[in-house]
């Protein structure tokens, strides 16, 4: 099995772990991001209303798209990340820097590897998250879509591929900026652990993989949360003025939210995100690292 295939497979394991752990928190975040001011008193009120009005299974509403799609997204993330790291290591080795094998990458190389992972991931994550958000925010009484495949079919039939990729510009910005920081933070923690204890990567404990993933997750959201809020607004907006479109563009969305709702709107829903982050991101890196170790021993 090639290194790339192993990376993609291990990434899939990390993606599935992320969705199963993080989905209930994500729906609360999305509801708070896309609701008008005053709809919910806070995170617990939002979760309580979902539970009372829609039942416990509502917390996993829209899970099929991310379970399939995020598995693919995280697979691509890690596949591109590891490929780019090997590329930089090869360049370093040829220049006689970065240690004997060139794997002691510069901060800029770790960041660019993360940016590459985010850009590659955005091709899948944009439409996957668009469909998930549509399902998470639609009316319970008169739902527009009966499931993810129905949503894809109806949106594509009415609005074409542009409809499926609605909000893609801001998604690309979020993924590039966010995953640059995300993977840089994780790799720096891993490199520090290896250097401090004089161990190899596969000797890092499962607990530390979780903790480093949690730390990387907080770094990610510290940078991208306002961008993510705009993405959610764009992906729940109407497709045209006749279907309730509020925003003409990403920039218009930023200006409108700032003018009508103030700066507080850009961090609405941050609570469930900060609670979700260590669990979901810790599970992601734990899944990847453990799967990588198994695959590398085959």
Q: For the domain that residue 280 is a member of, what is the CATH number?
A: 1.50.40.10
Are the C-beta atoms of 33 and 269 separated by less than 8 Å?
yes
Q: What is the DSSP string of 25-57?
A: HHHHHHHHHHSPTTS-SSHHHHHHHHHHHH-GG
Are the C-beta atoms of 94 and 149 separated by less than 8 Å?
no
Alpha carbon of residue 115 to chain centroid: 13
Percent of the chain having pLDDT more than 70?
Answer: 99
| Degrees to nearest 5, angle at CA 188 with 185 and 190 | 110
Separation in Å, CA 98 to CA 61, 106, 163, 191, 275: 46, 8, 45, 12, 37
Are the C-beta atoms of 206 and 138 separated by less than 8 Å?
no
Q: Which residue has the higher pLDDT, 22 or 105?
A: 105
Residue 56 has what pLDDT?
Answer: 87
* Boundaries of domain holding 255: 3-297
Residue 293 has what pLDDT?
Answer: 93
Residue 137 has what pLDDT?
Answer: 87
Instruction: Give 211-250 pLDDT, tens digit per residue.
Output: 999 999 999 999 999 999 999 999 999 999 988 899 999 9
Percent of the chain having pLDDT more than 90?
Answer: 67
Mean pLDDT of 257-277: 90
Cα–Cα distance measured from residue 286 to residue 264, given in angstroms and rounded to the nearest whole number = 34
Beta carbons within 10 angstroms of residue 146's beta carbon: 10
Cα–Cα distance measured from residue 111 to residue 183, given in angstroms and rounded to the nearest whole number = 7
Q: Is the pLDDT of residue 179 over 80?
A: yes
Alpha carbon of residue 52 to chain centroid: 28
In this structure, what token pair is assigned to residue 73? 């997204």
Helix (H) / strand (E) containing 266: none
Cα–Cα distance measured from residue 158 to residue 11, given in angstroms and rounded to the nearest whole number = 34
Q: Is the pLDDT of residue 75 over 80?
A: yes
Are the C-beta atoms of 128 and 135 separated by less than 8 Å?
no
> Nearest 10 degrees: CA dihedral of 64, 68, 73, 78?
130
pLDDT band at 147 (very low <50, low <70, confident <90, very high): confident
Cα–Cα distance measured from residue 31 to residue 22, given in angstroms and rounded to the nearest whole number = 15
In this structure, what token pair is assigned to residue 269? 């829903």
Residue 22 has what pLDDT?
Answer: 84
Q: Which residue has the higher pLDDT, 36 or 294?
A: 294
10 Å CB burial of residue 240 (0-12, 13-18, 19+) is exposed
Highest mean pLDDT among 25-39, 137-151, 173-187: 173-187
Q: Is the pLDDT of residue 70 over 80?
A: no
Are the C-beta atoms of 246 and 47 separated by less than 8 Å?
no
In this structure, the chain runs to a length of 298
Residue 90 has what pLDDT?
Answer: 96
Residue 281 has what pLDDT?
Answer: 94
Window from 34-43, 149-158, 201-210 with minimum mean pLDDT: 34-43
Are the C-beta atoms of 29 and 272 separated by less than 8 Å?
yes
Domain count, the chain: 1
Q: Is the pLDDT of residue 66 over 90?
A: no
Are the C-beta atoms of 216 and 182 separated by less than 8 Å?
yes
Are the C-beta atoms of 174 and 227 separated by less than 8 Å?
yes
């Amino acid at each position: 099995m090639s290194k790339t295939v192993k990376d993609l497979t291990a990434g899939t394991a990390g993606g599935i772990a992320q969705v199963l752990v993080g989905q209930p928190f994500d729906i609360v975040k999305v509801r708070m991001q896309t609701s008008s001011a005053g709809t919910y008193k806070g995170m617990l009120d939002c979760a309580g209303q979902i539970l009372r009005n829609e039942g416990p299974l509502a917390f996993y509403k829209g899970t099929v798209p991310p379970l399939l799609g995020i598995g693919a997204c995280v697979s691509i993330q890690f596949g591109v990340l590891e490929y780019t790291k090997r590329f930089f290591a090869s360049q370093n080795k040829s220049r006689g820097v970065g240690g004997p094998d060139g794997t002691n990458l510069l901060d800029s190389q770790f960041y660019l590897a993360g940016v590459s992972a985010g850009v590659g991931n955005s091709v899948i994550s944009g439409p996957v998250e668009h469909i998930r958000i549509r399902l998470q925010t639609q009316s319970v009484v008169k739902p527009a879509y009966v499931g993810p495949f129905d949503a894809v079919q109806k949106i594509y039939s009415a609005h074409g591929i542009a409809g499926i990729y609605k909000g893609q510009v801001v998604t690309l910005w979020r993924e590039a900026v966010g995953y640059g920081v995300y993977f840089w933070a994780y790799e720096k923690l891993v490199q520090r652990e290896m250097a401090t204890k004089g161990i190899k990567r596969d000797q890092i404990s499962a607990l530390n993989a979780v903790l480093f993933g949690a730390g990387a997750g907080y770094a990610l959201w510290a940078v991208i949360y306002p961008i993510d809020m705009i993405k959610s607004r764009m992906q729940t907006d109407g497709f045209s003025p006749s279907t309730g479109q509020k925003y003409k563009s990403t920039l218009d969305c930023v200006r409108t939210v700032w003018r009508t709702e103030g700066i507080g709107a850009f961090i609405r829903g941050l609570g469930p995100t900060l609670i979700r982050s260590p669990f979901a991101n810790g599970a992601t890196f734990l899944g990847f690292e453990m799967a990588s170790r198994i695959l590398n021993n085959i």
